């Protein structure tokens, strides 16, 4: 995966780069709009994180120029990340071709989940679906299928499953799950995450989909066996 972070706050950009960089991944950083425009014209990315309030060239113009280019550059998913929360700015960004929008401050697990969903959609030609063996999650319709049959899950069970599927093969901590499931100021019971994971596990294990508990670290959705 190759990611471009367009952000003039170097502390935030460095933190994002460290968090998003996995073995084999490349994370580039452009501190201003002009540099971002040059990189987007010469490099190919899987996803772009774009701030709006940039020096030299604002995020709207970076996005406008990007979408005017020929494919595949014009089709790269873009997540707008900005302190601007005015409805007009949000609408303008989406109208110019942004794929998603996240306002600062934000939770890192939510950012990661949204990025991976955008990347999966881009690689599948726009299909907003996560697949894991016999398990499928329609991220747009917010429904789960097991062996092509609807699986009844609550909103928070779906949130647990989505984050585990997005990070399949990697450990997801209880803290990451809590941040993904609960908003600012909401109380999280000591055993709430364990309860949600237990419920999801019981629903999917009969189909051979396994959630392992990694003691002291969190939970891991095992990758489906080949074939």
Fold of 2-123: Rossmann fold (3.40.50)
Residues β-bridged to residue 145 = 136, 150
More confident site: 107 or 87? 107
User: Count of CB atoms within 10 A of residue 156's CB?
Assistant: 18
> How does pLDDT run across 128-185, given as a tens digit for each residue?
577 888 898 886 667 899 998 999 998 888 888 988 988 888 898 888 887 666 643 4
Q: Which residues contact 22 (CB under 8 A, 6 or more apart)?
A: 1
Q: Are 165 and 132 in contact (CB under 8 A)?
A: yes
> How does pLDDT run across 52-85, given as a tens digit for each residue?
989 999 999 999 999 888 766 677 899 998 776 6
pLDDT of residue 227: 41
Residues of the chain with CATH 1.10.10.10: 129-221
> How does pLDDT run across 46-57, given as a tens digit for each residue?
889 999 989 999
CA atoms within 13 A on the CB side of 151: 25
How far apart are the C-alpha atoms of 73 and 45, rounded to whole Å? Answer: 8
Across all residues in the chain, what is the average pLDDT?
83
The domain defined by 129-221 carries CATH number 1.10.10.10: yes
pLDDT of residue 92: 84
Residues of the chain with CATH 3.40.50.2300: 2-123
């Amino acid at each position: 995966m190759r990611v471009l972070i367009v952000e003039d706050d170097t502390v935030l950009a460095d933190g994002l780069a460290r968090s998003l960089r996995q073995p084999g991944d490349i994370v580039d950083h452009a501190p201003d709009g002009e540099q971002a425009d040059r990189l987007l014209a010469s490099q190919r990315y899987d996803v772009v994180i774009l701030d709006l309030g940039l020096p030299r060239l604002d995020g709207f113009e970076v996005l406008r120029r990007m979408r005017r280019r020929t494919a595949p550059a014009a089709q790269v998913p873009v997540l707008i990340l900005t302190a601007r929360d005015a409805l007009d700015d949000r609408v303008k960004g989406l109208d110019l071709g942004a794929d998603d929008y996240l306002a600062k401050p934000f939770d890192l697990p939510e950012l990661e989940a949204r990025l991976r969903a955008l990347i999966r959609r881009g690689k599948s030609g726009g299909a907003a679906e996560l697949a894991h063996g016999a398990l499928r999650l329609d991220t747009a319709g917010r429904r789960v299928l097991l062996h092509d049959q609807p699986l009844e899950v609550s909103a928070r069970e779906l949130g647990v499953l989505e984050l585990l599927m997005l990070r399949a093969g990697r450990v997801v901590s209880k803290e990451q799950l809590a941040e993904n499931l609960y908003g600012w100021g909401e109380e999280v019971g000591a055993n709430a995450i364990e309860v949600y994971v237990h419920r999801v596990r019981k629903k999917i294990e009969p189909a051979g989909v396994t959630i392992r508990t990694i003691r002291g670290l969190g939970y891991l959705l095992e990758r489906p066996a080949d074939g």
